[in-house]
Amino acid sequence: MMETIIGKIQKDQEKENRLIYEKAGQILRSGGLVAFPTETVYGLGGDALDEKASAKIYAAKGRPSDNPLIVHIADQKDLYELSCDVNEKALKLAEKFWPGPLTMILKKKDIVPNSITGGLGTVAIRMPSHPVAAELIRTSGVYIAAPSANTSGKPSPTKAEHVINDLSGKIDMIIEDDTVDIGVESTIVDLSEEIPTILRPGYITQEMLCEVLGEVRIDPAIEGSLKPGVVPKAPGMKYKHYAPNADLAIVEGQMEHVISYINDAAAKKEAQGFSVGIMATDETKNLYHTGEIRSVGSRNSEASVAHNLYALLREFDQMGVQYIYSESFSTNNVGQAVMNRLIKAAGHTIIEV
């Protein structure tokens, strides 16, 4: 087990922060791995053009090698270095949403190794807006391939402690700066086909994309699963993701029926000797009577639910609960991203009441 360096970025500590970036850059250039914050979640970074580094990423996470990685860049012109088809749609989206939580899939150049694309002829590219991520890319001088910095399949990390719990001793360095804002991964849109297609919902919604491009469709696999033998075009499409240790079930229906069902189900599980967590909202948390009851945010703010989702799933893990019941959420705007992550975390276990 290697020793993992923890470098904490601190306000008004420019000299000390510079040393952290320089050390992290050295590690990346030498083929090592560095976890760092972005505006969405923490990422686990390696040199995107170094096949040995990408192999280390998959090994550290326990991630299937057919699950593509996203390449993070610091300048829009880098698109032309990585893609052989920087089309008008890509330029329009970059102008509108970069830097920010949007990943674009484009046809790749040969410089991009197949080891980070799942063997596909496309590459996923993002330009993060988080200042630490942007400075790390610039300082290192490399394009950074970075999935979320967690054990594969577990809730994505939104705090440094989450990364430390999952990956300390497995990677070279963790840059700590707990200013992750959004809380769910970037929107992924495939621009390699004629009609742009959302492969993973996120903070940048279908409506926002349509305002720029016109027609944008949603891949049906977002709400389901890929068929056996199909290669995923984007992270998170094929495998169970974001899952806590407990069995998670989503309960859908009229709110009074949802609350009644969860109260009854939680009481029965506790009577059988199991510990239960309930994922409620600010508006409903006082209507539950048993179990570990936690609010994930307000129904009046889908962004608050997205921001708190993964941290709450990890909190339930720390409590050691064995069953989690969650209310369902609106699929409007960023709520679609919330439900996408919850459904995958629950292994598609949805109870209609």
Q: Is 52 helix (H, G, I), strand (E, B) or coil?
A: helix
Q: Each residue of 240-260: b (16+ CB within 10 Å) or e?
A: ebbbbbbbbbbbbeeeeebbe
Amino acid at 191: L
Tens of pLDDT, residue by residue over 250-288, are 999 999 999 999 999 999 999 999 999 999 999 999 999
With cut-offs at 50, 70 and 90, classify the pLDDT of residue 66. confident
- Residues 72 and 162: their CA atoms lie apart, in Å, by 21
Concatenate the DSSP letters of all residues of 23-48 into one string: HHHHHHHTT--EEEE-SSSEEEEEET
What's the rounded Cα separation, in Å, for the pair 45 and 174?
10
* Domains, the chain: 5-222 (3.90.870.10), 247-352 (3.40.50.11030)
- Between CA 345 and CA 194 the distance in angstroms is 31
User: How confident is the model over 87-143, as pLDDT tens digits?
Assistant: 999 999 999 999 999 999 999 999 999 999 988 999 999 999 999 999 999 999 999
Q: What is the pLDDT of residues 173-232, one digit of tens each?
A: 999 999 999 999 999 999 999 999 999 999 999 999 999 999 999 998 775 554 555 455
Q: 172 and 5 in contact (C-beta within 8 Å)? A: yes
0.95 exceeded by pTM: no
For the four alpha carbons of 47, 48, 53 and 57, in that order, the dihedral sign comes to positive
